Amino acid sequence: MTFEQALLRASDICARQEKCVFDIEKKLNSWKVEEPVAAKVIDQLIKEKFIDEQRYVNHYVRDKFRFNRWGKIKIRYQLKAKCISGQQVNEALQQISEDEYKDALAQLLNKKRRNLKEDDKYKKRASLIRYAASRGFEPDLIYQLIDSE
């Protein structure tokens, strides 16, 4: 695949949906684009603002919290898997309001509590803790909300 073809296909993908460098590198590898050509394509996409890591991180954090109801730990972990970490992620996670974050966890816990068939209160508590932790919420906040009810 030539540089022009790869750039055209990659820019088309980036125009339709927000992507990060990792996603595009993966796509270019699947198209069997040679490494130097892939690097040129990515540089060009960044230069033309098709790829903007900070913009991607902000959208990713907002969407995963609002729509998937993920906690900050899971969001950070998933971004790290895409080779994105550091200050960009911290800034994006700080944009989530604490009240909204606690409300989201409280709603998840209440919904899960209603669906649990368990009678033993200790098993029920353990199940709620595991569930909230699997969604990526911080243990301190989980315990605080579970114990307050």
pLDDT digits (tens, 9 = 90+) for 39-77: 999 999 999 999 999 999 999 999 999 999 999 999 999
Q: How confident is the model at residue 142 (pLDDT cuts 50, 70, 90)?
A: very high
CA–CA separation, 7 vs 1, rounded Å? Answer: 10
User: Domain residues for 76?
Assistant: 53-94
Summarize the confidence of residues 122-135 as an average pLDDT: 94
Q: Both 27 and 68 in a single domain?
A: no
Structure token pair of residue 18 = 């927000």
Q: Both 13 and 32 in a single domain?
A: yes
- Cα–Cα distances (Å) from 145 to 53, 63, 112, in that order, read 34, 24, 13
pLDDT of amino acid 1: 79
Q: Both 114 and 73 in a single domain?
A: no
Q: Is the pLDDT of residue 149 over 80?
A: no
Tally of domains in the chain: 3
pLDDT of amino acid 90: 92
Summarize the confidence of residues 86-103 as an average pLDDT: 93
Contact 73, 52 (CB under 8 A): no
The maximal CA–CA distance of the chain, rounded, in angstroms, is: 64
Q: Both 62 and 30 in a single domain?
A: no
Query: Integer distance in angstroms from the first to the last C-alpha of the chain?
Result: 60
pLDDT of amino acid 54: 93
Q: Both 28 and 60 in a single domain?
A: no
Average pLDDT, the chain: 93
pLDDT of amino acid 63: 95
Q: Both 88 and 113 in a single domain?
A: no
**Strand extents, DSSP E, the chain:** none
Structure-token match 């301190």, residue found: 140
